[in-house]
Amino acid sequence: MKTVLITGAAGFLGSHLCDKMIKENYKVICLDNFYSGSFDNIAHLKNNAQFHFIEDDVRNLRNIKINEQLDYILNFACPAPPPKYQKDPVFTLDTCYKGAKNCLELAKERGAIVLQASTSEVYGDALIHPQKEEYWGNVNPIGARSCYDEGKRIAETLFFDYRRKYNLKIKVIRIFNTYGARMSFDDGRVISNFIVAALKGEPITIYGSGKQTRSFCYADDLIDGIYKMLLSRDDLYGPVNLGTTFEFSVSEIASKIIKLCSSKSEIIYKDLPEDDPKQRKPDLNLARKELNYVPKITIEEGLVKTIEFFKIKLQNI
Ligand code: UDP
């Protein structure tokens, strides 16, 4: 049985990855410091013989004793929702840099394949649309979002420098907006915020005009793409965009959620946060060609599943 180390494994995506790797018959070593992840996300795996949990910080990874042979290391450790990564920007930057470096050092020592969860945020407020992997981005280096955007960019740089210098087997994916079960209800993201407000009958807050767009991917589709990338040929380093081309304005998402929740919530408007990108949609040609990656879950299907998750979550708090 092969072994995979997943950092940030108690987070929204990390926990879905744990499920996927266990299903595919891997032993999963899971690391999380619960800064933004939650034990609830991995509680169902607690007694699974393939699952081993370590509560610690990725910045401390090199001091943790891991006896198992490691075949894969997946670095998902970083707060991702804007309010959470902006709460302590220095911590976010530190986690991005030291987390990536520690994963790379461990991969070098163990001969493991190492995958970095990068982000569409590396494109910043993109000036080309849709965003292709070759695009270098339009990122403000000193703004409120910079700790995350630049943190993820430096992590990508480290990955490619380790590959050039030590010939490491690296994989870099750029994840676009993803949603689904296990998002935390207070993470501040558009879909979770809107669903929670709609279910409670509270006002839905749109930042700015609501004309800004995002392309939304349901978590299961994204996990499928990540798994394909992990098993791809050795010289496919990436970066590879993963997400969907289902592009909607924030206003359209609000209307869909209000309708699907049969909610009476009103819409109110607040100022757009600093450096909020105006449009975002991945060019998925590379993922399609190299990974045969085709997301299948429509926005309606994904929203219905996510609304179900939040209904149950809200009943239990
Ligand atoms: N947004 C909004 N209301 C909310 C949360 C977010 O209008 O309650 C907007 C936000 O300003 C952005 C878009 O929705 O334009 C997506 O925000 P999110 O934080 O989910 O993702 P990101 O901006 O990182 O893509």
pLDDT tens-digit readout, 28-58? 999 999 999 999 999 999 999 999 999 999 9
Closest CA to 252 of 297, 303, 201, 185: 303
**Site to substitute for ligand 1 among 186, 193, 214, most atoms within 8 A of C-beta:** 214
Closest CA to 250 of 272, 230, 232: 272
C-beta of 250 in contact with ligand 1 (< 6 A) = yes
The percent of residues in the chain predicted with pLDDT above 70, rounded, is 100
Closest CA to 54 of 79, 40, 34, 80: 34
Q: Whose structure tokens read 């990436």?
A: 238
Q: How far is CA 3 from the centre of its chain?
A: 21
**Amino acid in the structure at residue 65:** K
Taking the CB of residue 213, how many other CB atoms lie within 10 A of it?
20
Please tell me the distance between residue 27's alpha carbon and the centre of ligand 1 in angstroms. Answer: 36
Please tell me the distance between residue 252's alpha carbon and the centre of ligand 1 in angstroms. Answer: 13
Catalytic center residues: 148
Angstrom distances, CA of residue 251 to CA of 40, 205, 273, 279: 31, 10, 16, 13
Please tell me the distance between residue 59's alpha carbon and the centre of ligand 1 in angstroms. Answer: 28
The predicted model gives 210-230 an average pLDDT of 98
pLDDT digits (tens, 9 = 90+) for 99-137: 999 999 999 999 999 999 999 999 999 999 999 999 999
CA angle 96, 287, 181 (to 5 degrees): 60
Taking the CB of residue 33, how many other CB atoms lie within 10 A of it?
18
Closest CA to 27 of 55, 6, 57: 6
Closest CA to 162 of 109, 86, 93: 109
Please tell me the distance between residue 218's alpha carbon and the centre of ligand 1 in angstroms. Answer: 16
pLDDT digits (tens, 9 = 90+) for 61-96: 999 999 999 999 999 999 998 889 999 999 999 999
Looking from the CA of residue 177, the nearest atom of ligand 1 is 25
Take atom 14 of ligand 1 and give the residue whose Cα is closest.
190
C-beta of 152 in contact with ligand 1 (< 6 A) = no
Closest CA to 178 of 115, 244, 237, 231: 244
Closest CA to 81 of 208, 242, 192, 195: 192
Q: Which CATH superfamily is domain 181-214+246-282+296-315 in?
A: UDP-galactose 4-epimerase, domain 1 (3.90.25.10)
Handedness of CA 160, 162, 167, 170 (dihedral sign): negative
Indicate the pLDDT class of residue 316, thresholds 50, 70 and 90: confident
Q: What is the CA radius of gyration of the chain?
A: 19
Please tell me the distance between residue 283's alpha carbon and the centre of ligand 1 in angstroms. Answer: 21
3-178+217-242 matches 181-214+246-282+296-315 in fold: no
Name which residue leads in pLDDT, 274 or 133: 133
Take atom 1 of ligand 1 and give the residue whose Cα is closest.
190
State the Cα–Cα distance between residues 251 and 257, nearest whole angstrom. 10
C-beta of 276 in contact with ligand 1 (< 6 A) = yes
Looking from the CA of residue 121, the nearest atom of ligand 1 is 24
Q: What is the pTM of this model?
A: 0.96
Take atom 18 of ligand 1 and give the residue whose Cα is closest.
189
State the Cα–Cα distance between residues 17 and 222, nearest whole angstrom. 10
Average pLDDT, the chain: 96
Please tell me the distance between residue 189's alpha carbon and the centre of ligand 1 in angstroms. Answer: 6
Q: Which fold has domain 3-178+217-242?
A: Rossmann fold (3.40.50)
- Number of H helices and E strands in the chain, helices first, is 9, 13
Flag whether pLDDT at 317 surpasses 80. Answer: no
C-beta of 212 in contact with ligand 1 (< 6 A) = yes
Flag whether pLDDT at 260 surpasses 80. Answer: yes
Domain boundaries, the chain: 3-178+217-242, 181-214+246-282+296-315
**Site to substitute for ligand 1 among 185, 250, 270, most atoms within 8 A of C-beta:** 250
State the Cα–Cα distance between residues 109 and 70, nearest whole angstrom. 10
C-beta of 89 in contact with ligand 1 (< 6 A) = no
